[in-house]
Amino acid sequence: MKNRIDEAFRKKPIFMPYFPLGYPDLDTSINVIEALAKNGADLIEVGLSFSDPLADGPVIQKATQVALEKGITVRKSLEAVKVLRQRGVGIPLVLMGYYNPILAYGLEKFICEAMDAGVDGFIIPDLPVEEAEEFQFALSGASSASEKNARSPLSAMPLIPMLAPTTPDERMEKVARNAKGFIYLVSVTGVTGARQSVAEGLGDLIARVRAHTSVPVCVGFGIGTPEQAREVGALADGVIVGSACVKTIGSSENPVEAAKAFAAAFRAALRSE
């Protein structure tokens, strides 16, 4: 049986927004993520807040700081994913967070509770594949235990690799060859945040990655408008929108309605024939 991530890529390109749990408060963030899921998102990066988000720009840094000040924790975040599943959210939910809080929580505990909650995968920006052996070991152990206990047919939770324009060819080949789920391709150097235009040479960069893998290639960093999403979607298998999503929804007087409109606009841009 295919897992939810595989199913999401049946019709490409997919729309993949990012939103952090706990912003502007926990209940609102759960409602926002549900609204994104039910109004056009194909897969959602669910943010785990951390005090030192080194890959993120000012918009996401501010949002995650607010979430931390409001008391968000790893445990509350995992419980929130479970609530989303109970509300009928059926699309893939991938946890996006930094390694320190996960390590402090306990790898095996974190992975097992994530599996029970209904998480489909992980993106950890500060955990390169060369240093991910301990996490992968815990991940494979949890998946094996799940299969033995028949807890879930969707037990394979990949650690999604990230590649960038600066990635050397030899490393790109190694990472792409072993990738599972999809590849998160950073379109520009620097931190997250919307840009004025799509990065030059993006098509060539995607082609470099695809030469080494058959898993979907999704592009993030710098995509802020439906028009930019359409442009990137013509090249990639998925479009990741983080800062623009957080800024638009977070600045609205009605975040849930803003989320519905945001998801619908990007979905329409990517699905227009």
Catalytic residues: 45, 56
Give how far Cα 118 sits from Cα of 153, 176, 269, Å.
Answer: 11, 26, 29
Residue matched to tokens 């790893």? 74
> If residue 93 lies in a helix (H) or strand (E), which one and from where to where?
strand 93-96
Q: Which of 81, 76, 56, 89 is nearest to 192 (CA)?
A: 56
- How far, rounded to the nearest angstrom, does the alpha carbon of residue 24 sit from its chain's CA centroid? 19
Three-class SS of 161-217? CEECCCCCHHHHHHHHHCCCCCEEEECCCCCCCCCCCCCCCHHHHHHHHHCCCCCCE
Give how far Cα 121 sits from Cα of 141, 157, 160, 209, Å.
Answer: 15, 4, 7, 20
Decide: 101 and 109 in contact? Cβ < 8 Å.
Answer: no
Residue matched to tokens 């609204």? 35
